[in-house]
Amino acid sequence: MVSPSEQDRKPKNGSTATNRHQRTRYYQKRPRRVPPELCMDDDIESCSVVAALLLYRLISQADDQGRLPGHPRSVKAACFPLRNAISLAKVEQALDEIAAAGFVVRYEAVGKLYIQVKNWGDLQGKWGRRAYPSRFPAPDGWTSDWINAGDDDNG
């Protein structure tokens, strides 16, 4: 007989312990940190709910240097792939809001649009993770990349 507490812990919809383990490993491949202080930041709180949610999702989707493609179509595909109610126009407006609030830099390089999350090093810290070079160009004047991949891990 299964106790009620054990029954509550049973996976729903055919999920298995192996699937949960695989999902956990997926989330660990590119860990990102959203500092709790961001929830109390006046600048992000002055933005719309969609803009605030977009900022959190940009942080989770950015590469190790805080960069990602910046065309609204690319941002929607990466950050809101299953949210049909969030249109390209809403993504564009949200990008404008968080750029105006100073959280991201929108820029063009080599004929393409990109986004740089500002203060990336402060947001992510250098807490023992490996940081690889970005495959996207940095904004003009950017000097804050932190790369340690390839360093000797044995000290």
Tens-digit pLDDT profile for residues 85-133: 999 999 999 999 999 999 999 999 999 999 999 988 777 776 556 778 8
- Annotate 81-125 with three-state secondary structure: CCCCCCCHHHHHHHHHHHHHCCCEEEEEECCEEEEEECCHHHHHC
Tens-digit pLDDT profile for residues 115-126: 999 988 777 776
Closest CA to 70 of 133, 139, 144: 139
Confidence of residue 154 (pLDDT cuts 50, 70, 90): very low
Residues 78, 70: Cα–Cα separation, whole Å: 10
Domain ranges (residues) in the chain: 31-124
- What's the pLDDT at 153? 45
Q: Report the CATH architecture of 31-124.
A: Orthogonal Bundle (1.10)
- What's the pLDDT at 152? 47
* Structural contact between residues 149 and 130, judged by C-beta atoms closer than 8 angstroms: yes
In terms of pLDDT, which residue wins out, 150 or 123? 123
> pTM for this structure?
0.74
| % of the chain exceeding 70 in pLDDT | 72
Tens-digit pLDDT profile for residues 15-28: 555 555 555 544 55
